[in-house]
Chains A and B, each alone.
Chain A
């Protein structure tokens, strides 16, 4: 569901149910790769890097696209946390997060680039981990919530 903000921007919430929506976790030396048969390269230049693939869902818990998340800490680029959300019917967005969490609870980032309906947009995004409410639910660990607030670039 897209919410129209008072300033004219559009707010939209996406989420990823873990572990069900995780397609891939790639990192050097990981003990339990996802999927299990994944053969991640053991190149030392990838140490500190983690690449993930997910299905992403809308507010109605319907899968509407895919997402990649790359996290890396290295001398040349500093700490990197990035998302690409790919929504087949709508376009893709490239999001760059600030590494430090606000109040230790959520990260803030910005829209670097968008395609199709997101092409002429700018805005920001928040990333938050929400643990499963019920401790009895052993299967559902929790969810990653992404809230985007985009507005047309010429309105800036």
Chain B
């Protein structure tokens, strides 16, 4: 009997040590610097509220922690799209003025590796900026730091919530420098092939509702063009 008890205690202790090692693994702490921080090129700054109730539309399989919004929206219950979220939101510029509409699709990635601090999501943006044109952004996001710094502490908190100031870049690829790929579709963005980074800034999280105060920010680098192929319309950097 004592051997059985020892085995159970040993197993539980081993699991606890493993979980602590994953949670506090110093190798999973990444620099928040991106190549865009050192770029001389103009940067388009777009931001949005990533809390579901602040978006125009947010839908998922209907069983996730974050409820679809508005309440009567079609849910994504079919098997191939059960791990996918769709969001439509207003995008604001750095002066907090209306800049455009963004549609985002996010799908849980099968490449997620918790032991390596990778909670990966494949996402794409389809963006329309009136008077400027359209953009497509492809990226792999890593939500490990959001999970570690906000979600888990909220679950461990006696109030089932988290409050604080937190900001991290979530873009983890596809480029080796952890930037997203941007392709221009129309207007001044025709022919554009550029890079972007997306960041999340959280202030409050509730176990019951999910993100309560969460801002998303997209930084899109606009490579300078030769005067010969410059767009006809002036490009105002936000």
A interface list, Cβ under 8 A from B: 22-24, 26, 35-41, 43, 45-46, 49, 51, 53, 55, 62-66, 68, 70, 72, 74-78, 80, 82, 84, 86-89, 92, 94, 96, 112-113, 115-116
Contact = CB atoms under 8 A, between A and B. Distances in A.
B86 A37 contact: no
A66 B84 contact: yes
Interface in B63-103: 70-74, 76, 78, 80-81, 83-84, 86, 88, 90, 98, 101, 103
A53 B124 CA distance: 14
B138 interface: yes
A7 B189 CA distance: 32
16 contacts: A23-B57, A24-B88, A36-B72, A51-B88, A51-B103, A53-B86, A63-B80, A65-B80, A68-B105, A76-B233, A77-B188, A78-B186, A84-B126, A92-B105, A96-B185, A113-B136
Nearest to B107: A88
B108 to A, nearest CB: 8
Nearest to A80: B186
B183 interface: yes
Contacts of A62: 78, 80
Given A35-B57, A96-B186, A112-B183, A88 B84 contact: yes
A40 B80 contact: no
Nearest to B108: A88
Given A24-B73, A53-B57, A64 B130 contact: no
B141 interface: no
B56 A39 contact: yes
Contact of B186 (A35, A36, A82, A87): A82
Interface string B11-33: 00000000000000000000000
Contacts of B56: 26, 38-41
How many B residues touch the partner, as a band?
Answer: 35 or more
A87 B77 CA distance: 15
A80 B130 contact: no
Contacts of B181: 113
Nearest to B73: A35
A116 B139 CA distance: 11
Given A38-B70, A45-B130, A87-B80, 11 more contacts: A23-B57, A23-B59, A38-B56, A41-B56, A63-B81, A66-B86, A72-B128, A86-B84, A86-B105, A96-B185, A113-B136
Contacts of B130: 43, 45-46, 49, 72, 74, 76
A94 B128 contact: no
Nearest to B105: A86
